[in-house]
């Protein structure tokens, strides 16, 4: 159990087949960067018997085969990675620009977000496009990137009742995060726009347009009347 006195990073056993490295008990950019750096190190220097490493916002889960490698060896491997947080991948993140059509049928919740915060539609667009976002982690569906860095002044709760269908490319806000739906799917994020950017291609490599640690900039479509 994590407490106010916990010293990070923490490495603890999760059952008999996994170790969890935790870097923080709250969501911070620093923790995301540490996860990125450690995951990069683990992938660069693999350990036989390790099945998979799964990075999240502030932790990395290491799954291993106890018949091939012992827990103590995996823990030593993880501790060594934590002592080597610097990486070229972290110092030089990839930056992707994503063009978005805001409002209208493409962003049906933009008026609600504006009204919720007492600002204009253009203000929401300006605040949303005025930040450089960091991919904190991937999840929910293939290619879905949780983006950190949303202006707190437009942070908006999820829908009370999720939609049964959200079109691929939809750009949404949920709490203090923003993200893009890579596929048609149900979802409860506040939809403010849509992009034609392909985020998940199951046939051609690279399959995912975004990866943890990448930077994302949203660009309003030039002929968008709201921008």
pLDDT digits (tens, 9 = 90+) for 18-29: 999 999 887 777
Exposure b/e, 127-157, CB count within 10 A at least 16 = b: bbbebebbbbbbeeeebbbbbbbbbeebbbe
How many other C-beta atoms lie within 10 A of the C-beta of residue 200?
16
Residue 1 has pLDDT above 60, yes or no: no
Determine whether domain 10-91 maps to CATH 1.20.1250.20.
Answer: no
What phi and psi values does residue 68 have, to the nearest 5 degrees?
A: -115, -25
What's the predicted TM-score (pTM) here?
A: 0.76
What local confidence, expressed as pLDDT, does residue 219 receive? 97
Q: Which of 17-21, 146-150, 208-212, 222-226 has the lowest mean pLDDT?
A: 222-226
CA–CA distance, 171 with 190 (Å, rounded to integer): 8
pLDDT digits (tens, 9 = 90+) for 23-81: 988 777 788 888 888 988 998 899 999 999 988 888 999 999 999 999 999 999 999 99
What phi and psi values does residue 203 have, to the nearest 5 degrees?
A: -105, -45
Structural class in CATH, domain 95-220: mainly beta
Residue 5 has pLDDT above 60, yes or no: no
Q: Are 20 and 59 in contact (CB under 8 A)?
A: yes
Sequence ranges of the chain with CATH classification 2.40.100.10: 95-220
* Tokens encoding 100: 């978005």
Residue 88 has pLDDT above 50, yes or no: no
Report the Cα 57 to chain-centroid distance in Å. Answer: 7
For the residues 132-148, what does the mean pLDDT come to?
A: 89
What phi and psi values does residue 74 have, to the nearest 5 degrees?
A: -65, -40
Q: How confident is the model at residue 89 (pLDDT cuts 50, 70, 90)?
A: very low
How many other C-beta atoms lie within 10 A of the C-beta of residue 116?
15
Sequence ranges of the chain with CATH classification 3.30.1360.40: 10-91
């Amino acid at each position: 159990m994590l407490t106010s006195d916990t010293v990070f990073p923490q490495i603890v056993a999760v059952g008999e087949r996994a170790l969890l490295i935790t870097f923080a008990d709250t969501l911070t950019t620093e923790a995301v960067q540490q996860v990125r750096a450690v995951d990069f190190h683990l992938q660069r220097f693999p350990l036989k018997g390790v099945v998979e490493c799964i990075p999240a916002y502030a932790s990395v889960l290491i799954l291993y085969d106890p018949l091939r490698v012992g827990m103590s060896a995996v823990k030593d491997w993880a501790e060594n990675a934590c002592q080597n947080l610097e990486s070229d991948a972290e110092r030089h993140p990839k930056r992707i620009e994503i063009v978005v059509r805001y409002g209208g049928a493409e962003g049906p919740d933009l008026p609600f977000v504006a009204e919720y915060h007492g600002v204009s539609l253009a203000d929401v667009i300006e605040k949303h496009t005025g930040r450089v976002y960091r991919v904190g982690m991937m999840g929910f569906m293939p290619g879905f990137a949780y983006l950190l860095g949303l202006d707190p002044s437009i942070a908006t709760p999820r829908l009370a009742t999720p939609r049964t269908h959200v079109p691929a490319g939809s750009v949404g806000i949920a709490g203090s995060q923003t993200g893009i739906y890579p596929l048609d799917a149900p979802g409860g994020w506040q939809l403010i726009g849509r992009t034609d950017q392909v985020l998940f291609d199951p046939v051609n490599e690279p399959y995912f347009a975004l990866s943890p640690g990448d930077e994302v900039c949203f660009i309003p479509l030039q002929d968008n009347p709201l921008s």
